[in-house]
Amino acid sequence: MALRIVTADERLASAHAKTTVAIFGPSGAGKTSLARTLPPDETVVIDLEAGMKSLQGWGGISVPVRTFGEAADIACLVGGLSPTADPAGFFSPAHHEHVLASYPDLAEALGARRFVFVDSITDLTRQAMAWAKLRPEAFSDRTGKLDTRGAYGLLAREVIGLLKHLQHAPGKTVIFVGILERVLDDFGRETFQPQMEGGKAARELPGIVDEVLTLSLFDPDGEGWRHNPQSGAERRLVCRSGNPFGLPAKDRSGNLEVTEPADLAAVIAKANGPRPTPPTT
C-alpha cells in the first residue's frame, strides 16, 4: 500500500465507520446478551464458548469456533490479508486465498456485517494455548519436551497478532468480550484483571482497542457499585479510567461518562460522535 495523506474529513469518516471495544465483566453478568443491543442484520457473533443460550430468539447470525485455527480463519475473512504477514503464517496472501476459497458463503455474510462480536477473548486465549502446545516452537530443542515458556511466548505473539489484525479490519466495529476476575494480593488488596491465558496479551489488549468497558451492577438506590448486589440492581458500563470503583476502563473518544447504560449500540454511537468543544475562558 502506497503512503498517502489522510485529510481531516477522511479521518472523521473513518472514526464514524469503526471502532474497537473490549468489554469485561464477571461470569453471569450478561456480557453476551449485550449483543441484543446491536442491530441484528448488521451483527455477527463469533461464538468461541458455546454460550449462545442468552441470545436465544435474537435475529443475528453466529459462527461457532472451536479451535484457534478456525479463529484465525475468521479473523482473516474479517480483516483481509496483511502485507507484513509471514508468507507461511496467518493473514498472508496464501492464507487469505485459502479462506476465501474454503468459506465463500461465510466470506459474503461477514462482508455484509458491520459489527463483529467476539465472545469471548477468554476462550480465544484458551484455544490459542491448546494450539501453541502442539507447535514445534513449544518444544525444547535439547530435550524434545514441552517448554511452557515457549508455548506462552507463541500464544502471546499469535493472539496479539490476531487482535491487531481485527483492529485494522476496514469498516468493522469489533467487540471483544471477556471475563473479569477479582484478585487479592498478599495484603488483601483488591484488583480486577481480565481472565486470559498469558499475561502479555492481557497487558497489551487495552492499548490495542479504542474503548475498554466493564459491565457492572449498581444498587438501585444509587449507593454505587458493589460485588454482590441485591436483585433489581441496574447493569451499567463503566467507561472511564480512574473511576471510583477501581474497575478497568478506558475511553479514547473522550465522549463517554463514567458509567453509561448497558446499551452497546448507543455507547458506540456516542463514542464515535464528535468530541465536545472545550469551553473557552
CATH number of the domain that residue 253 is part of: 3.40.50
Residue 169 maps to a domain: yes
> Which H or E element spans position 72?
helix 68-79
pLDDT confidence bin for 154, thresholds 50/70/90:
very high
- Residue-wise pLDDT tens digits, 85-139: 999 999 999 999 999 999 999 999 999 999 999 998 999 999 999 999 999 888 8
Mean pLDDT of 158-169: 94
In a domain, 4, yes or no: no
The answer to whether position 277 is within a domain reads: no
Amino acid at 47: D
Model confidence band, residue 189 (pLDDT cutoffs 50, 70, 90): confident
Cell of 214: 466493564
**Residues pairing with 237 in the sheet:** 215, 260
Q: Does residue 9 lie within any of the structural domains?
A: no
Identify whether 174 is part of a domain.
yes
The answer as to whether 280 is a domain residue is no
**91 lies in some domain:** yes
> Facing residues of 225 across strands?
218
11 pLDDT band (50/70/90 cuts)? low
pLDDT of res. 227? 47
* Domain extent at residue 129: 18-271
Give 220-278 pLDDT, tens digit per residue: 655 555 545 455 678 899 999 999 888 999 999 999 999 999 999 999 999 998 876 66
Residue 276 lies in a domain: no
Residue with the three cell numbers 490459542? 128
Residue 64 has pLDDT above 90, yes or no: yes
Residue 31 has pLDDT above 70, yes or no: yes
| Alpha helix (H) residue ranges in 80-235 | 93-102, 104-111, 121-132, 148-167, 199-208
State the Cα torsion 241-243-247-249 to the nearest 10°.
Answer: -30
Domain total for the chain?
1
- Could you give the percent of the chain with pLDDT greater than 90? 62
Q: What is the pLDDT of residues 95-109, one digit of tens each?
A: 999 999 999 999 999
Cell of 3: 503512503
